[in-house]
A and B are shown apart, each in its own frame.
Chain A
């Protein structure tokens, strides 16, 4: 068991990366196995692995985030906010340049963008409420 703060945080990071890689590899192996057996699952196996993967990474991300100091949280929050916005802007340029306006790719991007924006608004509302003494995980 890691004893120092830095060792604990490093261990949490390694566990998140290792879990993600393990789930991706397991999903690829399952897909290859199904293909070899000639079974068409219609994408359900991949969906199952994605759900399990996100649940596992979220469960590991919570203690990691709670262990971060405010400087690190600020760094992560700023990077995710501007990184996501820049990523969406570049994707929009690619869609416009390549002419993918009515494609499944566009539908996927739009779904992701709308959900990310929606959840961001929810969490921002929670943050505003916390400042008034309400909301999820209010203070200590």
Chain B
């Protein structure tokens, strides 16, 4: 799933481990999401969106929605 996770993380000046610890997931999960190799569960997506204080769709793009 296309996402802007890396951009938001870098904008905050966080390392992958710091972000992982902040939202209580493993660094491997952050790496996989940033590489777009893993689609997060809904709770994980909401947690990340809440951390960056943005709507979920701003972080994880909805490719089924007409732009």
Contacts and interface: CB of A to CB of B under 8 A. Distances in A.
Interface in B32-58: 32, 38, 40-41, 44
A69 B28 CA distance: 10
A68 B26 contact: yes
B23 to A, nearest CB: 8
A19 B26 CA distance: 23
Interface of A is mostly: helix
B9 interface: no
A71 B21 contact: no
B20 interface: yes
A72 B24 CA distance: 12
A6 B9 CA distance: 18
A103 interface: no
Contact of A71 (B17, B24, B32): B32
Interface of A: 4-6, 9, 68-72, 75
